[in-house]
Structure 1
Amino acid sequence: MSGPIIEVSELEAGIVQVRMQDRVNKNTFTDALIHGLTAAFDQIRHCADYKVVILTGYDSYFSSGGTQAGLRELFEGKVKFTDKDLYSLALNCPIPVIAAMQGHGIGGGFVMGLFADFVVLARESVYTANFMKYGFTPGMGSTFILPHKLGLSLAHEMMLSAATYRGEELQRRGVPFAVVPREAVPQHALELARSLAEKPRISLVTLKSHLVGPLRAQLPAFIEQEIAMHELTFHRPEVKERIEAFFGN
């Protein structure tokens, strides 16, 4: 792999792009990717020149969610998903965030993208909230953000079934996001970013704070409930067996 795992670049005046490009690990939540994303959003938070963020991946991957080693640590009770907070990076970012999900969004990777203010999906890519595939209940705020962004029926189906969906299928199911061919995702996101960057930064920050204020206030209660559900569902032998048998399939 060449280049940094997280690449931060200013595409145009006021538009900053954060690209996840861990090709070795397919943008799973390795320590390096988590550290890089956290540092990138911290940098953005303190830069008054930026007005909008584009969060994207590489080729056919947006983010593949937790690593197998990370799931093992959760099973063993060594960590909680709240120890490394990726899910609220976009939500708590002061300026609007566009998740340009040109590639597959798997588990926590899909959920992380949904916390953005705008979501762009690719028709060809796969999106799934596949936590239950491994036998444990969803985390990372999934039980909050999926119903909020996708509607109750589809969100419940995705979480309970752990099924995978192509972007074109989600488009047919009526998701309220732009769904375009994969090669068109970057340009679509850039055009949206340009329309935002035309506005005064103070107005963007003020309006986003108002719009997402209720989400920021409600999320902690759902996180607590998800942690409680993990205590009931995560530390069971069949979960360990599923992590070993099904991971990456």
Structure 2
Amino acid sequence: MIYETITYTLDNDIATVTLNRPEVMNALNTQMRAEITDAVARAGREARVVVLTGVGKAFCSGQDLGDGASAAKLDLERVLRDEYVPMLKAMYDCPVPIIAAVNGAAAGAGANLALAADVVIATQSAFFMQAFTKIGLIPDAGGTWFLPRQIGLAKAMGAALFAEKITADDASAMGLIWEAVPDTAFEAHVARRADYLAKGPTAAYARVKQAMMASFDNDLEAQLTLEAQLQGQCGKTRDFKEGVVAFMQKRPAEFEGR
């Protein structure tokens, strides 16, 4: 696929997917959703970590209400089912870690696109906003799934009903995101985080994702059984053997993701 609304780079096993519609604050249109879906699937095959970020002052302002039909005629159910679900599922199924590097405003579906990542790192000047009720909608793009799981029902309901801005620092404090960092240190900090994961045991990371996601549907016994199965698989990897040897030799491990 030729990308026109995003850019894709691969460097040192790090795939960077950059939303590139700054004139509309990186609002999501049909083409961008298809390109993100393709790029994330591609990164899962050829990278060891994915960084998802935006160009300009915003990470993503959400659904582009000027895309195609007028807002009054927009078939939101079809758009969510046929365009958002594949994009979010590609992120959910991606076998390597995804870092959302939130460089600015993340509103509506843009906020929930960020929350679909495995780790969210934001600039302190960024904010998150479940803006949906301001136009008579409910949180979508996974918002009703992500929010109560990440910050609990009480905070999730407040975020959805009041549709207020949540600063990056507040988002970090309430557990909505991993961390907020000073704007001046943001790019270098994200690069260090991505490099750390790219050099890590990515076969284990894939199973971390699998186990964490399954825990919401499993009871304790089922989750312990899954843990045992996945740990057994990790124990047969080259990375586990290397990790143990490196620990005994008191040196950094050289993981290969296998």
Scaled to the shorter chain, the TM-score interval is 0.7 to 0.9
Partner of 2:24: 25
Partner of 2:151: 150
Identity percentage over the alignment? 24
Partner of 1:37: 36
Amino acid of the structure 1 residue aligned with 2:92: L
The CA deviation string for residues 88-111 of structure 1, in whole angstroms up to 9 with x for no partner, is: 332221111000001110100000
Q: Is the 8 A contact 1:88 1:112 kept in 2?
A: no
Q: d(CA) in 2 for partners of 1:59 and 1:183?
A: 15
Q: Is the 8 A contact 2:115 2:177 kept in 1?
A: no
Q: Is the 8 A contact 1:74 1:80 kept in 2?
A: no
Q: Secondary structure at the match of 2:195?
A: helix
Asked which structure has the greater CA Rg, the reply is 2
Q: Is the 8 A contact 1:7 1:19 kept in 2?
A: yes
Pairing of 1:69-108 with structure 2 (within 5 A): 69=66, 72=71, 75=74, 79-85=78-84, 86-108=87-109
Q: How far does residue 117 in structure 1 lie from its aligned partner after superposition?
A: 0.8
Q: How far does residue 140 in structure 1 lie from its aligned partner after superposition?
A: 1.6
Q: d(CA) in 2 for partners of 1:74 and 1:190?
A: 42
Q: Is the 8 A contact 1:74 1:81 kept in 2?
A: no
Q: How far does residue 67 in structure 1 lie from its aligned partner after superposition?
A: 1.3
Check 1:120–1:78 CA distance in 2 against 1; reply closer, same or farther (3 A cut). Answer: closer
Q: d(CA) in 1 for partners of 2:7 and 2:53?
A: 10
After TM superposition, the runs of 4+ consecutive aligned structure 1 residues lying more than 6 A away are none
Q: Does 1:59 align with 2:56?
A: yes
Q: d(CA) in 2 for partners of 1:194 and 1:158?
A: 33
Check 1:97–1:146 CA distance in 2 against 1; reply closer, same or farther (3 A cut). Answer: same
Q: d(CA) in 2 for partners of 1:117 and 1:76?
A: 29
Q: Secondary structure at the match of 1:95?
A: coil
Q: d(CA) in 1 for partners of 2:216 and 2:142?
A: 11
Partner of 1:165: 166
Partner of 1:10: 10
Q: How far does residue 129 in structure 1 lie from its aligned partner after superposition?
A: 0.7
- RMSD over aligned Cα atoms: 2.5
Q: Secondary structure at the match of 2:149?
A: helix
Alignment length, in residue pairs? 212
Q: How far does residue 173 in structure 1 lie from its aligned partner after superposition?
A: 4.7
Q: Secondary structure at the match of 1:87?
A: helix
TM-score by length of 1: 0.75
Q: d(CA) in 1 for partners of 2:216 and 2:29?
A: 27
Q: Does 1:119 align with 2:95?
A: no
The CA deviation string for residues 196-245 of structure 1, in whole angstroms up to 9 with x for no partner, is: 1222332222332222234699xxxxxxxxxxxxxxxxxxxxxxxxxxxx
TM-score by length of 2: 0.73
Q: Does 1:133 align with 2:134?
A: yes
Q: Is the 8 A contact 2:124 2:182 kept in 1?
A: yes
Q: How far does residue 176 in structure 1 lie from its aligned partner after superposition?
A: 5.0
Q: Which has the higher contact order (CA 8 A, sep 6+)?
A: 1
Amino acid of the structure 2 residue aligned with 1:135: G
The answer for unaligned runs of 5 or more in structure 1 is 218-249
Check 1:112–1:176 CA distance in 2 against 1; reply closer, same or farther (3 A cut). Answer: closer
The answer for unaligned runs of 5 or more in structure 2 is 219-258
Q: Does 1:183 align with 2:180?
A: no
Q: d(CA) in 2 for partners of 1:4 and 1:51?
A: 24
Q: How far does residue 180 in structure 1 lie from its aligned partner after superposition?
A: 1.2
Q: d(CA) in 1 for partners of 2:126 and 2:113?
A: 16
Q: d(CA) in 2 for partners of 1:78 and 1:190?
A: 37
